[in-house]
């Protein structure tokens, strides 16, 4: 499963990229606002940090304006994936862009039927929001399982990009279901490295090593 980080904080992206485990980046208008920087400048910098896909979202709601904004975004770098909402106009835009060879990430997916439409529109990625679905009292991971079954049934090439990941269990469940990608905030990715038994083991080894009086 590919690991994308969901942030517009370039310092965090650089640090995680140094692990060699980061495959791409997702951004959205809210994350750009939080970064407090120029949108195009941030996207350009991120695209230069990671070689993998960098999702940059259009903000227009009609097809014509989405295409205009997409043209600006995809000129930034070859690894830009244009992000569009799962609406009729968004899927029209997805169909047009994917037909020209542009990567497209269809976002704000909350049902398997929506994911089916995105795949038929040629989406590179579909982004189901598991955390937000959980917030409404439903099982977000059930949607991931349903999408996996549908995509496998018809051999769709669209990659399932699990979004709105809130904790490590979401990551584990996504991997077990067979999602292609997960995107999570930096803090959640950092949690994956941690386990109390690992910490205790390191402490015990260091304590014993100190007693030897040796150095490497």
Write down the H helix ranges in 155-195. Answer: 168-177, 186-191
pLDDT for the residue 99: 97
List of domains in the chain: 2-212 (3.20.20.70)
From residue 145, how far is each of 17, 109, 172, 195 by CA, in Å? 29, 14, 13, 27
| Residue range 88-109, pLDDT digits in tens | 999 999 999 999 999 999 999 9
Predicted local distance difference test score (pLDDT) of residue 48: 97
pTM: predicted TM-score of the whole model, two decimal places = 0.95
Q: What region, left, alpha or beta, does residue 61 occupy, with left being phi > 0 and alpha being psi -120 to 50 degrees?
A: alpha
- Pick from 77, 19, 87, 88: which is nearest to 52 by CA? 77
Catalytic residues: 83
């Amino acid at each position: 499963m590919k690991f994308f980080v969901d942030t517009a904080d370039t310092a965090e992206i650089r640090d995680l990229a140094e692990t060699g485990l980061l495959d791409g980046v997702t951004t959205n208008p809210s994350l750009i606002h939080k970064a407090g920087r120029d949108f195009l400048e941030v996207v350009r910098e991120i695209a230069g940090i990671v070689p993998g896909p960098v999702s940059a979202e259009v903000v227009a709601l009609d097809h014509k304006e989405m295409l205009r904004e997409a043209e600006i975004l995809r000129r930034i770098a070859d690894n830009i994936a244009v992000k569009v909402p799962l609406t009729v106009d968004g899927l029209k835009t997805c169909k047009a862009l994917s037909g020209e060879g542009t990567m497209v990430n269809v976002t704000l997916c909350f049902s398997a039927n929506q994911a089916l439409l995105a795949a038929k529109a040629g989406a590179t990625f579909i982004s189901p929001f598991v955390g937000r679905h959980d917030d409404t009292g439903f099982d977000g991971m059930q949607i991931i399982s349903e999408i996996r079954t549908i995509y496998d049934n018809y051999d769709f090439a669209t990659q399932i990009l699990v979004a709105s990941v809130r904790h490590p269990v979401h990551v584990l469940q996504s991997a077990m279901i067979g999602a292609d990608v997960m995107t999570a905030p930096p803090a959640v990715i950092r949690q994956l490295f941690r386990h109390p038994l690992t910490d205790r083991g390191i402490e015990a080894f260091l304590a014993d090593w100190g007693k030897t009086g040796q150095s490497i």
